[in-house]
Structure 1
Amino acid sequence: MTVLVGYTTVEGQTRRIAEAIAKRIEAKGERVALLDIGSNAEYELERPRAVILCAPVHTGSYPQPFRRFVAQEKDWLNALDSALVSVSLLITSHDAEEKAEAMNYPDALIAESGWLPRQVHHAAGALKFAEYDFFKRWMARRVLAKDRSSGKATVDHEFTDWKALEGFVDEFLATTGC
């Protein structure tokens, strides 16, 4: 049995999350096909038993290639056990409105695409100051100043809860009969 793990990434953290999911599935004895949806590469694989799709939220929405893929493949996805891993820094916010906004991103995707994932997992991303231009560094510092620190942060920080991600994968596999 094969589980498809598809992802799009903007800064690389969602790819790391998808790779960790694939590794966990393989550790449980299942086969995995890892697909970079954003590459627009042709793909051909046997019909998977289940699908986990991972995408980051930037400026309020998922990347266009991801949204296009989900809308195009919704019938196929809805016929399988499927899940969405929504990656957003807002999920770690102490501000109730920001956290609610992050929790609602999947609802907008579902309404837009017609895909009905059976499970949704919210994962926090990472801040990678070393890779940011001036504007992104400024925005990241504002986020940190508002919610987490003095705003003088300049070092990379990963917010992903890897144990919670493993728990989600284990639960997903158990509910799909894998």
Structure 2
Amino acid sequence: MIILVGYASVEGQSRKIAERVAAEVEAAGDRALLLDIGLGGEYALGHPEAAILCAPIHAARYPAAFVAFVRQEAEWLNSVPSAFISVTLLIRSELEEERQEAQHFPDGLLSETGWKPAMVHNAAGALRYSEYDFFKRWMMKRMAAQEKAPTDIHHDHEFTDWTALRRFVADFRVTART
């Protein structure tokens, strides 16, 4: 099976997650077509039979290029097995209401675009202090302190549960074949 693994990334964690998804797909014997949606380009070369899309949420919004892609391709995405990985730090929040909010971020995207993926996975992102400008680094450090997350700005900190992601990809491959 040929699976499109499309992603949009802001600081790099969604790209890293998509690369891991593609590696899992390939290791399981399927073919992955990795596509950076933010760069545009064509993906039709391999005629994907399924799709897993991945995008981060920043300030309660997914990247505009990602939303435009999903809107444009919703009919195709709904005609093949598809899944969505939503990436946000809030999914690992200490506060239940923030975790609940993060779990519902995909609802707005799906409602807005008409896409109906068979599966949705909420993945925790990363604090990429090395990617932030001075103001964002200061703001993220303050927010991290409130969440009891790492505040060492000299190192990046990943929170993605790679084992859960691996299970999600395996479950999707089973679902895609039924």
Q: TM-score range by the shorter chain?
A: over 0.9
Instruction: Supply the distance in 1 between the matched residues of 2:57 and 2:11 (Cα, whole angstroms).
Output: 11
Instruction: Supply the distance in 2 between the matched residues of 1:76 and 1:32 (Cα, whole angstroms).
Output: 17
Q: CA deviation at 1:44?
A: 2.6
> Aligned to 1:130, what secondary structure does the other structure show?
helix
Q: Structure 1 regions of 5+ residues with no counterpart?
A: none
2:139 corresponds to which letter in structure 1? M
For this pair of structures, how many residues does the alignment match? 177
Q: CA deviation at 1:46?
A: 3.4
Instruction: Supply the distance in 2 between the matched residues of 1:43 and 1:80 (Cα, whole angstroms).
Output: 15
Instruction: Supply the distance in 2 between the matched residues of 1:121 and 1:65 (Cα, whole angstroms).
Output: 20
> Aligned to 2:82, what secondary structure does the other structure show?
strand
Instruction: Supply the distance in 1 between the matched residues of 2:44 and 2:140 (Cα, whole angstroms).
Output: 39
Decide whether the 8 Å contact of 2:33 with 2:46 is kept in 1: no
Q: CA deviation at 1:96?
A: 1.3
> Aligned to 2:6, what secondary structure does the other structure show?
strand
Decide whether the 8 Å contact of 1:123 with 1:161 is kept in 2: yes
- Partner residue of 2:24? 24
**Cα RMSD (Å):** 1.3
1:167 corresponds to which letter in structure 2? R
After superposition, what is the alpha-carbon deviation per residue over 1:44-71, rounded to whole angstroms, capped at 9, x for unaligned? 3233221000000011110000000000
- Partner residue of 1:89? 89
After superposition, what is the alpha-carbon deviation per residue over 1:3-58, rounded to whole angstroms, capped at 9, x for unaligned? 11000000111010000000001000001111111001233323322100000001
Decide whether the 8 Å contact of 2:91 with 2:102 is kept in 1: yes
Deviates more, 1:57-66 or 1:125-134: 125-134
Decide whether the 8 Å contact of 1:8 with 1:36 is kept in 2: yes
Decide whether the 8 Å contact of 1:144 with 1:153 is kept in 2: no
1:137 corresponds to which letter in structure 2? R
> Percent sequence identity over matched residues?
53
- Partner residue of 2:145? 145
Instruction: Supply the distance in 2 between the matched residues of 1:5 and 1:175 (Cα, whole angstroms).
Output: 16
- Partner residue of 1:47? 47
Q: Structure 2 regions of 5+ residues with no counterpart?
A: none
